[in-house]
Amino acid sequence: MRDPNKKIMNLSQACQWRNDIKLSQKELVVTNGCFDLIHRGHIEYLQDARAQGDALLVGLNSDSSIRSIKGNNRPIIIETDRAFLLASLEAVDCVVVFSESRATNLFKEIVPDTYVKGGDYDEDTLDKEELQILRTCGSKLKFINFIQGYSTTNLIEKIKMIK
């Protein structure tokens, strides 16, 4: 098993790693998200995403980024632990934490061959700026079927009900 700590990279390291993939004529798949309280739905999604190419980079929203999107009660799990959990998965080849609320800078720098998002999104619901950058980069878009019954929000609600 590869050391998860070596799969967690800053943007500069990830760009060099990406260049090596490109030189090897391999396809890079990129996805992004909060991945707070990782559950089966996340794992199946990441496995499906990885199957779309030769390597998978996960852009991970930082703690401050999640708070700006979801409020002060999130994330539940801090970014260093979320990054380690993701990097521990065989399907994940690289994790990059980003501080912005959107992954636009990550996409500009990494230039994914394929960008994957869950089936609860489509081209109309993706962030318009992210979509424009992905199109400009020439990235293929792939929407993976949403796995019903698995969501962080539902998991949090279930935990709240425990007395």
Q: Give the pLDDT of residue 106.
A: 98
DSSP codes, 70-103:
H-TT--SS-HHHHHHHHHTSTT--EEEEE-SSS-
Task: Give me the domain span that covers residue 107.
Answer: 4-161
Query: Which parts of the chain register pLDDT below 50?
Result: none
Q: Give the pLDDT of residue 130.
A: 95
CATH at residue 13: 3.40.50.620
CA distance 80 to 89: 15
Q: Give the pLDDT of residue 3.
A: 95
Q: Give the pLDDT of residue 86.
A: 98
Cα dihedral 157, 149, 33, 71 in deg (nearest 10): -20
Cα dihedral 58, 6, 53, 28 in deg (nearest 10): 70
Q: Give the pLDDT of residue 153.
A: 67
CA distance 147 to 125: 18
CB atoms within 10 A of CB 25: 7
CA distance 145 to 122: 11
Q: Give the pLDDT of residue 118.
A: 87
Q: Give the pLDDT of residue 162.
A: 84
Report the number of distinct structural domains present in the chain.
1
CA nearest neighbour of 63 among 45, 82, 48: 82
